[in-house]
Amino acid sequence: MSLLRFKMVEAAINHRAVEVKAPASSPTEYFGTKVFGKEAMRRYLNKTIYEQLLDTMQRGTPLTPDIADNVAAGMRQWAMDNGADHYTHWFQPLTGGTAEKHDAFAEPDGCGGVLDQFSGKVLIQQEPDASSFPNGGIRNTFEARGYSAWDPTSPAFIVGSTLCIPTVFIAYTGEALDYKTPLLRSIAAVDKAATEVCHYFDKDVNRVIQYLGWEQEYFLVDESLWAVRPDLMLTGRTLMGHESAKNQQLEDHYFGAIPARVIAFMADLEYECLKLGIPVKTRHNEVAPNQFELAPVYEECNLANDHNQLLMTIMDKIARRHNFRVLLHEKPFKGINGSGKHNNWSLGTDTGVNLLSPGKTASENLQFITFLVNVISAVYKHNGLLKAAIMSATNSHRLGANEAPPVIISTFLGTQVSAVLDKLEASQSDSAIRFNAKNVFKMSGISHIPTLLLDNTDRNRTSAFAFTGNRFEFRAVGSSDNCAEAMIVLNTAVADELTQFRSRVDAKIEAGMRKEKAIYEVLKAMIHESRPIRFDGNGYSEEWREEATRRGLDCETSAPLVFDRYLDPSSVEMFARMGVLSKVELEARTEVKWETYTKKIQIEGRVLGDLTMNHIVPIASRYEALLLDKVYKISQIGKGLDATSDIDLIKRIQRHTEDIQRLTTEMIEARKVANKIEDQREKALAYHDTVATYFDPIRKHIDRLEEIVDDQMWPLPKYRELLFLR
Ligand code: ADP
Ligand code: MG
């Protein structure tokens, strides 16, 4: 192994578990201590202010400047008592990740001293000079004003010595420049539409809440090895690397014993999460070597998403303490599983009913079926758009790669729920679903289906959108994604569907039909219409691709073309009807998507070019020179010595290096052509169709060289080192 590689491997081996001081107290004592939550509010705000703030948080009543000043004073005092000396508006720009600009609480008082300044005005609204955040042309640079405004439904928290205030980020002209704004709008849309539908069944429902429980997958690699892999460092994935002889084929990593160094990292991470109020619950090894998962208990969608964003940032910091780097890329390594972020999603009422869980009475079950069918129908109508919500340059490596959800969005319901819907579709009367006295779900003509069984619906790991007994699990979301994007599309589509459902049912009732019968009739039609989205088979199979095409589902795989779905008339109209995103906002966002796609591929192309020319070709040539020297000497000595196999090896090295150089030159030329294109969509398409297409062929030759070039010379840490040293 090369000297540098040797030193890095040595360093990795010497990295031991960093001992984490076990927090003395129990989680109940430190949970949420870094959050300005209800408890802190009660202590730092007077009763009237506290109650008014609660009202704002729960019912959205506007805050008067006077209350805001009082809240700011209490919040600042709490923050300073907890070691903060700076504050920031914390927001989620379209670049992905989170943004923050720290300001000190202390300000000069004009008399040579300093004064602690943090008024209601700065709590509520700020104008960060944010002209360089992507905005898809909404803000021209001369009108670079963007506002960040407090989202009181997500509590402020402290990271390090900074008070972070969750905010939305909008343009001067009111358009959303972030993920949070449309997420909040979509949450309001579902709440309104779902509450109205609930009133068919229960007049006491005042609010419908959506819940999100994300499961975050990630890889860890040793930091010293990471530092000498420019591809990992700059693109988050390995652009080359021959598969390790052993990878995940023994299936010995999944749920296996977690290595000591990793346990130490996880314990540290969980401690930080709990202090920040993130209710982390499970941790385990994932399928691939060095792949892990962390999941909290589900929460209200907006807060859950903030928590996921927060987790992704602190993960990185904590990993470094343990000499690890976290890889959130969807496909860091070829040949082994990639990482996703399963979004478990459900709707619940303020009366405590999960609308996606079978109930106990006939009415509750009709309500359950109503919501279930509306979700399925929404997913059917907007399956292409849902795919657009989770598509990216990085996630496209994972989708359809025979291990993650396929590039076709379909729903899996399990045999029992499917049978219920089939029965309903075929039945002539609305009395098909009944419960007997023992609380057993019974359908005329179908055998008993205990509620217990329904809770344990069979799993289908190949489905992108699976019903799992009391929620849907959107499994196609990428590990580095902001969950909000998938949630915005899902919420909006479901809100729109419920609104249409409501007017269809109302029309029948007005025409004199009984309410239950009207609901049945509309559901029956919806079940029939949305049938093509239901698929319980193997989502990875070639037959499914063919079948899905026949069914008219969106089978596009090219990321830049998938983004087009945001601008389909059906999408634009739906977002407008629900008041979630305007056409201008949608255009701006797709513009950003194309631009981001191009940049990612551009960076990968550059890194690949650099690595081939600076690392791979020189080393292969050096090894070739050694062989040539040997062959020359053999020919000089003669005496029956045979150099045939060495000559063969030289020829192979020559072929690979020649191909690498030729392909790299061609790729650079293709980039030059693509770079001249002005239109962002066309440019992204050019990068997809003419630049990215070189990556795999170049890689193939490099990986062959890795197999034949002397290991002592090979400069980059190999897969076996990256994946098995921990
Ligand atoms: P899995 O078998 O998929 O690993 P888990 O039991 O670990 O399932 O749960 C995965 C996530 O789903 C967790 O975050 C959990 O809190 C969440 N979850 C459970 N019930 C619901 C629900 N009704 N709505 C939304 N999320 C839920
Ligand atoms: Mg799951």
Per-residue pLDDT, averaged over 49-63, amounts to: 88
Ligand 1 atom closest to Cα of 296? Answer: 14
Distances 451 to 356, 392, 417, 434 between C-alpha atoms, Å: 13, 39, 11, 12
Ligand 1 atom closest to Cα of 213? Answer: 14
- Residue 25 and residue 14: Cα distance in Å, rounded? 31
User: Are the C-beta atoms of residues 220 and 213 closer than 8 Å to each other?
Assistant: no
- Residue 291 and residue 255: Cα distance in Å, rounded? 10
Check residue 283 and give its pLDDT. Answer: 81
Check residue 456 and give its pLDDT. Answer: 47
Check residue 144 and give its pLDDT. Answer: 53
Check residue 129 and give its pLDDT. Answer: 62
Check residue 367 and give its pLDDT. Answer: 92
Pocket of ligand 1 (CB under 6 A): 211, 213, 215, 282, 295-298, 344-346, 354, 470-471
Check residue 625 and give its pLDDT. Answer: 96
Q: Highest mean pLDDT: which of 99-103, 143-147, 216-220, 412-416?
A: 216-220
Per-residue pLDDT, averaged over 491-495, amounts to: 98
Which amino acid residue places its CA nearest to atom 24 of ligand 1? 346
Check residue 249 and give its pLDDT. Answer: 63
Check residue 334 and give its pLDDT. Answer: 93
Check residue 444 and give its pLDDT. Answer: 44
Tokens 């994946």 found at: 723
Residue 137 pLDDT grade (very low, low, confident, very high; cuts 50, 70, 90): low
Check residue 425 and give its pLDDT. Answer: 87
Closest ligand to Cα 342: 2
Check residue 250 and give its pLDDT. Answer: 61
Please check the confidence at residue 527 and state whether its pLDDT lies above 80.
yes
How far apart are the CA of 446 and the centre of ligand 2, in A? 29
Per-residue pLDDT, averaged over 532-549, amounts to: 89
How far apart are the CA of 345 and the centre of ligand 1, in A? 8
How far apart are the CA of 215 and the centre of ligand 2, in A? 7
Average confidence score pLDDT of the chain: 88
Please check the confidence at residue 621 and state whether its pLDDT lies above 60.
yes
Ligand 1 atom closest to Cα of 214? Answer: 14
What secondary structure letter does DSSP report for 257? P
Check residue 437 and give its pLDDT. Answer: 37
How far apart are the CA of 198 and the centre of ligand 2, in A? 28
User: Are the C-beta atoms of residues 211 and 300 closer than 8 Å to each other?
Assistant: yes
Each residue's pLDDT tens digit, 157-207: 999 999 999 999 988 788 899 999 999 999 999 999 999 999 999 999 999
Q: Within 13 Å, how many C-alpha atoms sit on residue 316's CB side?
A: 13
Residue 210 pLDDT grade (very low, low, confident, very high; cuts 50, 70, 90): very high
Higher pLDDT, 536 or 437: 536
Check residue 116 and give its pLDDT. Answer: 67
Closest CA relative to residue 239, chosen from 501, 612, 489, 561: 612
Ligand 1 atom closest to Cα of 468? Answer: 3
Check residue 167 and give its pLDDT. Answer: 93
Per-residue pLDDT, averaged over 632-660, amounts to: 94
Which amino acid residue places its CA nearest to atom 11 of ligand 1? 213
Ligand 1 atom closest to Cα of 298? Answer: 16
**For the chain, percent of residues with pLDDT exceeding 70:** 89
Segment among 308-317, 334-343, 478-487, 533-542 with least mean pLDDT: 533-542
How far apart are the CA of 358 and the centre of ligand 2, in A? 19
Residue 138 pLDDT grade (very low, low, confident, very high; cuts 50, 70, 90): low
Check residue 438 and give its pLDDT. Answer: 40
pTM for the full predicted model: 0.93
Please give the helix or strand (H or E) that residue 210 lies within, else none: strand 208-222
Check residue 23 and give its pLDDT. Answer: 67
Residue 458 pLDDT grade (very low, low, confident, very high; cuts 50, 70, 90): low
Segment among 81-90, 215-224, 256-265, 389-398 with least mean pLDDT: 256-265
Each residue's pLDDT tens digit, 696-707: 999 999 999 999
Best mutation site among 284, 344, 475 for ligand 1 pocket (most ligand atoms within 8 Å of CB) = 344
- Total Cβ atoms within 10 A of residue 39: 11
How far apart are the CA of 184 and the centre of ligand 1, in A? 22
**For the chain, percent of residues with pLDDT exceeding 90:** 67
User: Are the C-beta atoms of residues 416 and 453 closer than 8 Å to each other?
Assistant: yes
Please check the confidence at residue 710 and state whether its pLDDT lies above 80.
yes
Residues whose CB falls within 8 Å of the CB of residue 600, separated by 6 or more in sequence, listed in order:
235, 392, 393, 394
How far apart are the CA of 22 and the centre of ligand 2, in A? 29
Ligand 1 atom closest to Cα of 297? Answer: 16
Please check the confidence at residue 447 and state whether its pLDDT lies above 60.
no
Please check the confidence at residue 609 and state whether its pLDDT lies above 90.
yes
Check residue 132 and give its pLDDT. Answer: 63
Residue 341 pLDDT grade (very low, low, confident, very high; cuts 50, 70, 90): very high
Check residue 121 and give its pLDDT. Answer: 82
Residue 448 pLDDT grade (very low, low, confident, very high; cuts 50, 70, 90): very low
Per-residue pLDDT, averaged over 406-413, amounts to: 90
Tokens 């990593």 found at: 253
Residue 376 pLDDT grade (very low, low, confident, very high; cuts 50, 70, 90): very high
Q: Highest mean pLDDT: which of 50-64, 416-430, 585-599?
A: 585-599
User: Are the C-beta atoms of residues 173 and 87 closer than 8 Å to each other?
Assistant: no
